[in-house]
Structure 1
Amino acid sequence: MAAVIPPGSKATDCVTKVELSVSCDNLLDMDMLSKSDPLCVLFVCNSGSQWSEIGRTERIMNCLSPKFSKTFVIDYYFEMVQKLKFDVYDIDSDNCSLRDADFLGQMECTLGQVGHLCLLQQLIHHNKCSHNLVFIPDIHLYGIYQAEFECINGKKKQNKKGYKNSGVIMIKQCKIVKDYTFLDYIMGGCQLNFTIAIDFTGSNGDPRSPRSLHYINPQGYNEYLAAIWAVGSVIQDYDSDKMFPAFGFGAQIPPTWQVSHEFPINFNPSNPFCAGIEGVVYAYQQCLPQVKLYGPTNFSPIINHVAQFGHQALQQHTASQYFVLLIITDGVITDMDQTRSAIINASRLPMSIIIVGVGGADFSAMEFLDGDDGILRSATGEAAMRDIVQFVPFRQFQNAGTAALAQSVLAELPDQVTSFFNLFGLKPPSEPNPS
């Protein structure tokens, strides 16, 4: 008897991804003065009767026959019966909470009912360099391209004589999704665009004092420079022109001495780029004596600044650019609500944020932004689409060297890059050839 291999084990790591597009027709109208504002939630049955939420579509306002843009991507296992449940709600709150929503109906099916999957051919590619065998499946989808199911409200069916349904849910499309790896994107032409933001607030101390975090010792070292070198030396290999915009925040800058939260440290707003990490270091050293450290510590302006470019890149509909913002800071964020909103907006863009905390301050707020302990939400309850923040306190690596710091802060970046592009179905600019 063959052994049963559970999902998630090594034997099933290379599962097929299936993307489901959903639409509904003739839903119940639950609103008095307007039409329902539907949203669809997909659940998968893990074991027995335990359902787990996979994802949600967007809410479509005033529509009884919605065609949802957001799709669901799930793992397909040939050897398993995968039960799916689609719940449809009329959403009345801005934060899309289901607690305040009206339940419209649901339908259950299996993934096998939605579409039949067939493996057309299997190719084995021999890698001459490593002498490994690489299995490359050519997978094709055929059969039921569109499935239609009745949307049933159990209470109405039980209490209302002659009840037929509460509308129809249609699986518009079921297709195989290829998951590209980080190297697929890099080798296919994706550029990592690296931006640096440096904290010039007064809590750092007078740069002329050896006690200041901005004090550059005779060896040309401080924690800010160490963080720039550690992260930049790795990132620069993935940027073809190696021109990096570098900004400061929290300082009074000449000639007006107004506080700025996104000023180029080379004082050239039309061209804030520095040539290589060496250029960033030089601009930082030249900038220090020309500004007055002040405050407060606001992150949202520089996050929104980089997010503008991420939004523009997303309009290209290809995985050609991904933006990495390195923020080096010494203290507590003073615009936390605005920063949370900025991060949540950026979570929908090709963008990641690395925060390195220097000095001995309390960085609990930074760890909160990291999101490893739960989903980051804005003050109004809006949730981040994905975790894009990685925070590391520099003091943990003072005796470990810059390589260890770089490894820690960049550990999550490859998964963040691939998860974003795969989530949006974006391919590399050019298909990487197997070697």
Structure 2
Amino acid sequence: MTSTAQPLTGSANPAPLPGYAERHTLHWKRNLAVSVFGSFTTLVSLSMLLPFLPIYVRQLGVTTDAAVIQWSGIAFGATFLGTAVTAPLWGRLADRFGRKPMLIRAAVGMAVVMSLIGVAHTVHELVALRLIAGLVGGYASAATVMVGTQAPKDRAGWALGILSTGALAGSLVGPLVGGFLPGWIGIRGTFFAGGAMIAVAALCTIFFVKEDFHPADRQRARAGQGTAASGRREHAIVIATLLLVAMMVLLANMSIEPIITIYIGSLGVAPDHLARTAGIVMACSAVGSMLTAARLGALADRIGSWNVIVACLVLTGIAMIPQAFVTEWWQLAALRMVMGMTLAGILPAVAKLIRNAVGERSTGTMLGYLQSAQFSGQVLGPVLGGQIAVHLGLHSTFFATGGLLIASAGLAALARTRAA
């Protein structure tokens, strides 16, 4: 007598495992909300030291003004450098072990390191800890990987736009918090407060983020390695173009950083108002991006990500050019806000295209490379902008970055035809 019953694990045609996004239909919006909160708090904590960083560097034993400026720049850029180096690694581990563990790792690591910065004794310890914060942190990067893979494909642009808004808000609010908090609890106490904020984000991630990640996801990734390799070769130019575009976005936004105060001074702003005015102008691009990031992400869902990328690159490049001809600081601020509004649609659309290009097998890895490209642009932008200003003049910075953005639009248009 032959039994007709078969164990489920040995059935000839086992039911296929639902895709990663399909398994998170009920949870992706809540996970998005936690990710927005976590990205906001971590970016607040990382950027709030901007107003008092030179003061802290001086307290750590640096005496001359030139050395204070130099070490402040090194300490600030160290975090972005560290994140650029390790983002692909964390993305790859997210593909292997799940997205939630990477969020928890980033939040806990940053909470510990941020608190340790408050007990640094030398400027070398400060730089080392800022570098470690970038190496072990990257909550916003990990959140991009999770949201980019959990959100439904037809809502991914909107979701990534919302996430981008939270990160931008954190970068905007951080310096404001850093301007007031040290007066109340001291500089070292401010770092402890930052660590506590990130610890709250870590707890929210642990208890409220839901992820359904199975070892079968890894097995399916291994089974599809050959297909993935051929797909990467087929789409290599397209993906390289998307990474280049992402780098150019941050490069263009940060290129004015080294010259902003000098340029505003040339517009007739009084010396005692320069720092405040420069802060307002620099914040305007973030405000503009916050206003349009979610809307442009939703637009990419409707009309296509490539269309949004090409249009936003052209408009951003055009918005850069008039900045070289302003005669009042408020004109520069208005143009920077317009630039931020057009800039905001690019990165969510790029992330969505990368997700769709590689599928679930290596989405985390590729989104990690995307984060690395963005932070590379954030590091290279001030360097390139400063060098152009020194050798070709202040106004040339706007012409050069505007031209690079328009050239990137042309490259993206060519890549669009190849991806079609």
TM-score bracket for the superposition, by shorter chain length: under 0.3
Q: Which is helix-richer, 1 or 2?
A: 2
Bigger RCO (CA 8 Å, 6+ sep): 2
Q: Which is strand-richer, 1 or 2?
A: 1
